Structure 1
Amino acid sequence: MNNRYNTLRNRSAAYAATTVMDGAARQVLRNTYLLLSLCLGFSAIVAAAALALNLPGPGIVITLVGYFGLLFLVTKYRDRGLGVGLVFALTGFMGYTLGPILSKYLSMANGGLTVTMALAGTAIIFLGMSAYALVTKRDLSFMGGMLTVGVLVAFVAGLAALFFSIPALSLTVSAVFVLLMSGMILFETNNIVRGGETNYVMATVSLFVSIFSLFTSLLQLLGFVNKE
């Protein structure tokens, strides 16, 4: 009797291990990908407009205040309809900051190739990490703390490289950010699949920021390589 009970229990555990995503998680994932695709498109349009109009960069202070201010508002209103509008405001602002960056790289020799390679690299990494997060049966929640600490350290190091004009440190931070943002995409998608993230607004922001940071980091690394 005990052997039969243990067999049934083991089968149930095996079934639970393969049934990773329930209906609620699927709905969150669907809403997240829909909103993310819309935000990526909107951000790209704003970036293209800023590039075409040759708008100046907002500067580090306005960029940080705008980003963290809008992020705070998104977090505050994440459970209301206003939260979706604020997500578009945040991603649109980030698109505006991207316009002058693209202008800088496109003015360089092989600039078009650099931007194209960065876009392709970002797409490949995002699709690869997302696909793995969707099919793996592993719980990747243990990555959360390490990634958070890593991002904070890299962010501070990036500011130091900017203020003290240390190109080598800036390139190192970009390389580290490529790894960290790849991990964040993997972690956040796995978190949605396993029901750890139930708010599609916050999931969208997390994935968008990861994609944006991944793209700009690859852009800096590839820009340096192509310049050489």
Structure 2
Amino acid sequence: MRTTRENPYEAISRQESALASNKVLRNTYALLSMTLLWAAMVAGVAMMLNLPHPGMLITLAGFFGLLFLTHKTADSAFGLVSVFLFTGFLGYTLGPIVSAYMQFLPNGGQVVAMALGGTGAIFLGLSAYALSSRKDFSFMGGFLFVGILTAFLAGIAAWAFSMPGLSLAVSAMFVLLMSGLILFETSRIIHGGETNYIRATVTLFVSIYNLFLSLLHLLGFAND
């Protein structure tokens, strides 16, 4: 009985690919931890100074503008500066929102804590599942793109026409879509689909940011 011998060059190539993926994963989680702490600090300062929310239009302009800048500079040294500008801006937008929930809801602090704990549990659980199972979730890419675009446009419509029912539905959609995006991006890193840790960090940060806001909205409505 003949046995097929593995090509040593293929084995070396796979090993190098695995090492590169592990390096991207480590760098991504390290940078993600720093940006989450940085955003939390900025949000805390915004709350202490009672800074006003910049408004929907400025938030959207800052979000997409800084997101574009971060992606354009992700392969350069300025990419790290861009990612902290982006995440710091999102942290600033969170401060007034969290303050409003804590001020106008009788149990606002509990709602914020529940949303924060739920966000952490979902992220850690899905990340652990993607890392341990090593399943390839790349098939979700098209569905997530269409779903996020649809939910984003529905959210704009809910804000423009003051439709609270649609706004709640959008928040529920974003919880599911951001959960899928966490699986998708983690899988891409593991399987070598994403080789830039700055872009990977931004994707995961945006997932966590939107997940927290969506849970905060849903829990706030349930406890109002």
TM-score in terms of structure 1 length = 0.91
Q: 2:138 is paired with a residue of what secondary structure?
A: coil
What amino acid maps onto 1:39 in structure 2? T
Structure 1 outlier segments of 4+, above 4 Å: none
Say if 2:162 is the partner of 1:192: no
**CA distance in structure 2 between the partners assigned to 1:46 and 1:155 by the alignment:** 25
Residue among 65, 74, 79 paired with 1:78: 74
- Equivalent of 1:134, from 106, 131, 143? 131
Code of the residue aligned with 2:171 in structure 1: it is: S
* Structure 1: stretches of 5+ with no match in the other structure: 10-14
What is the distance in 1 between the residues matched to 2:217 and 2:60? 19
1:39 aligns with 2:35: yes
Matches within 5 A, 1:141-160: 141-160=138-157
Q: Which residue of 2 aligns with 1:29?
A: 25
Partners of 1:136 and 1:68 lie apart in 2 by: 33
Match of 2:216 in 1: 219
**Letter of the aligned partner of 1:140 in structure 2?**
F
RMSD: 1.5
Task: Tell me what 1:165 maps to.
Answer: 162
2:36 aligned with 1:57, yes or no? no
> 2:50 and 2:160 mapped to 1: Cα distance?
25
User: Quick one: distance in 2 between partners of 1:171 and 1:136?
Assistant: 32
Q: Output the TM-score relative to the length of structure 2.
A: 0.93
Aligned with residue 209 of structure 1, among 202, 206, 209: 206
For 1:124, give the aligned amino acid: A
Aligned-partner residue type, residue 97 of structure 1: T
CA distance in structure 2 between the aligned counterparts of 1:137 and 1:208, rounded to whole angstroms:
21
1:177 — aligned with what?
174
Matched ranges for 1:7-26 at <5 A = 22-26=18-22
* Alpha-carbon distance between aligned partners in 1 of 2:172 and 2:56, rounded to the nearest angstrom: 20
Count of residue pairs brought into register by the alignment: 215
Per the alignment, in what secondary structure is the counterpart of residue 68 of structure 1? helix
Give, in whole Å, the separation in 1 of the partners of 2:134 and 2:219.
34
- The one-letter amino acid of 2:183's match is L
Structure 2: give runs of 5+ residues left out of the alignment: none
Residue aligning to 1:109 = 106
One-letter identity of the residue aligned with 1:171:
L
